[in-house]
Chains A and B, each alone.
Chain A
Amino acid sequence: MSQTFILDGKTISFADGQTIMQAATQAGVFIPHLCYHPDFKPHGSCKLCTVKVNGRQTASCTMRAIAGMVVESDTPEINAERLALTQMLFVEGNHFCPSCEQSGNCQLQATAYHLGMMSPHFDHFFPNRAVDASHPDVLLDFNRCILCSLCVRASRDVDGKNVFALSGRGIKTHLIVNAKSGQLADTNFTLDDKAAHVCPVGVILKKRRGFAVPIGERTYDKQPISATAKAVAEER
């Protein structure tokens, strides 16, 4: 780990092949992200992790670190763009935190807190999306989907089941279930699947565990999401 680059004025070490996101997280520096997950190949689609490398914008989850590069992340300009992206995610779906079981454990919500999102700013779409309660153990609430594709990657790459896919293009992109009926009950999806545990928002929810942990005592109630990177650094 002799190679380094500069991130917001701080020297960050990295190993060959590591991305900016991986190196930053190891060093305890938090870069906001939604579609990135350390266990999976990066998707580079949510753009929350956008940084400036030598003055040009790029996704830090897909960009490999190069010795001597100068990276800006925690700047008013980039954070304002991250905030606008987050606000767009909120108005495109139906994100009603008070009635969501994921509230307090939700990465979208915690990221919005981190970015100081006081309002959704834009006009709401209020889309009409049905829920899928067909599966005996799992509820799918598509109203909250942010199209991060983590369940798609987990089901395909880890579980080997291809239960989920993103269908359609542009604003019409949506999450689908790979069954003739389109229902989760008609797939071989189980609670043991990796895909059952990677949703950063409240789409894939285990049934019959509502309020097992009270509101106010959940993951991001206790500590801000930026503390997750520090925890990774301390474990090393």
Chain B
Amino acid sequence: MNAPKKKLKVATTSLAGCFGCHMSLLDIDERLFTLLEHIEFDRSPLTDIKTCSPDCDIGIIEGGLCNAENVHVLREFRDNCKILIAIGACAINGGLPAQRNHLPLTTILEEVYHTSPGLMNGMIPNDPELPLPLNKVHPIHEVVKIDYFMPGCPPSADTIWKVLTDLLAGKEPELGHGLMHYD
């Protein structure tokens, strides 16, 4: 007797990202229905599940690392996902948030909360619930092992579809000209 094929568990998150890559994932449109025949979403902004199940098959990470919480979430994904995919420019090289990397963090906080025009009695937020910013924004492969990368800002729906369907078919994802873009 054939047991029904188990659906792959896919978790997603956006760290120091803009959710543009998640929007591009939704942009695969009606192919989402086909995708959902093969996968179920675990922890993801799409499900609002807050922690990864320990047996996730694929983790998709958008955004780089700009604060301590990003690092914590990334490690949780690595601990619980068999395959980890970096999606988009920010996860791969820091992207737009990394444009602050040549400035000292104190200078940035001073300017944003103290010295910008129009501010009065400004205060650098220090609530213990707020994650501490990192000195520099880092790509995620600098902290954990990443298995696959989907470059692009964001990667197109077709690029995402190609990578996911290649993986579902048990193949190494291959993009080639037209689907491979860094912009």
Residue numbers of A with Cβ under 8 A of B are: 90, 95-100, 103-104, 109, 112-113, 116, 118-121, 123-124, 126-129, 215, 221, 223-224
- The answer to whether A119 touches B86 (Cβ under 8 A) is yes
When distances are taken between beta carbons in the complex, the residues of chain B under 8 Å from A100 are 183
- The answer to whether A126 touches B141 (Cβ under 8 A) is no
- The answer to whether B149 touches A96 (Cβ under 8 A) is no
When distances are taken between beta carbons in the complex, the residues of chain B under 8 Å from A103 are 182-183
Say if the beta carbon of B6 comes within 8 Å of chain A: no
- The answer to whether A98 touches B182 (Cβ under 8 A) is yes
Q: Which of A90, A124, A221 contacts B138 (CB 8 A)?
A: A124
Please list the 8 inter-chain residue pairs (A to B) with the smallest Cβ-Cβ separation, ordered nearest first: A98-B153, A97-B182, A128-B102, A118-B149, A126-B101, A103-B183, A119-B149, A224-B177
Q: Which of A96, A104, A119, A123 contacts B99 (CB 8 A)?
A: A96
When distances are taken between beta carbons in the complex, the residues of chain A under 8 Å from B89 are 96-98
Say if the beta carbon of B93 comes within 8 Å of chain A: yes
Number of A-B contacts (CB under 8 A): 67
**Closest A residue by C-beta to B89:** A98
- The answer to whether B153 touches A113 (Cβ under 8 A) is no
Per DSSP, are chain A's interface residues mostly helix, strand or loop, or mixed? loop
When distances are taken between beta carbons in the complex, the residues of chain A under 8 Å from B102 are 126-129
Residue numbers of B with Cβ under 8 A of A are: 86, 89, 92-96, 98-99, 101-102, 136, 138-139, 141-142, 146, 148-149, 151, 153, 175, 177, 180-183
- The answer to whether A126 touches B98 (Cβ under 8 A) is yes
Given A90-B93, A119-B86: A113 and B180 within 8 A (CB)? Answer: yes
A-B contact pairs, 28 of them (CB 8 A): A90-B93, A95-B93, A96-B89, A96-B95, A96-B96, A97-B182, A98-B95, A98-B96, A98-B153, A98-B183, A103-B182, A109-B182, A113-B180, A113-B181, A116-B175, A118-B151, A118-B175, A120-B93, A120-B139, A121-B141, A123-B142, A124-B93, A124-B94, A124-B142, A126-B94, A127-B102, A128-B102, A221-B181
Give Cα distance in the complex from A30 to B139, angstroms: 32
Give Cα distance in the complex from A101 to B51, angstroms: 40
Give Cα distance in the complex from A123 to B89, angstroms: 15
- The answer to whether B146 touches A104 (Cβ under 8 A) is no
